[in-house]
Structure 1
Amino acid sequence: MLPELTPEELNLRLANGEDIQLIDVRQPEEYNYCRIEGSHLIPLGELPQRVEELDETRPIVLICHHGVRSMQALAYLQHRHEMNNLLNLRGGIHAWSLRVDPTVAVY
């Protein structure tokens, strides 16, 4: 099983000031519509060319709409780049909007 965390767990870690890199792997139009504050956009299809933007010294939380693309990104980074500081946001930004921050638009 690949590592993941719930929106509530991510919210708590951010509230506690944990230094986490938030990587959103959705498309630019999705990211422009809604996003988690502080996240950085790297669309899934661009990830192989932009791996150097990931900080291996701190936890990285991968985000997409429902958690499927971010899980693909996590699997790719684990297997191809041997990264072990990755977490998938379970339920994606959709779950974040419903369960943590209702000001983030749902689509």
Structure 2
Amino acid sequence: MQNWTPRDLAQQLNTAAHAVQLLDVREPWEYQIVHLENSQLVPLSQLTNYGLHELSKDLPIVVICHHGIRSAHACYLLERLGFQAINLTGGIDRWAREIDPSIPIY
């Protein structure tokens, strides 16, 4: 599993946002509080039952959660299914602290 820091992801989004998919595996109530633009919500508990058909194996998937634990689990699952998955270390919480302090921290 590959890991990216929020700075790595910010650089990717600034230079070639179209070259990655953003998958948020938090719960809907968390996603409503804050999420990255153009991210797709598929809670970890529903990942194998929903949403896999909407993901492309042609582009890497950056997986996002609150602190990086659920996203790491999702990355392992996605890799076993043939996807290229990248874990956002520190999750949306670290993103808020390092990249965009205007977004809510919960």
Q: How does 1:1-107 map to 2 (within 5 A)?
A: 2-19=1-18, 20-50=20-50, 51-79=52-80, 81-83=81-83, 85-107=84-106
**Where do 4+ consecutive residues of structure 1 move more than 2 Å?**
none
Residue-by-residue CA offset, 1:30-82 (whole Å, 9 max, x unaligned)? 00001111111000011001211111111110000000000000111112x12
Gaps of 5+ in 2: none
Which residue identity is paired with 2:14?
A
Using the size of structure 1 for normalisation, the TM-score is 0.92
Task: Tell me the matched-pair count.
Answer: 104
Coordinate RMSD, CA, aligned: 0.9
Give the Cα separation in 2 of the matches to 1:44 and 1:57: 21
Give the Cα separation in 1 of the matches to 2:3 and 2:56: 18
Identity across aligned pairs (percent)? 39
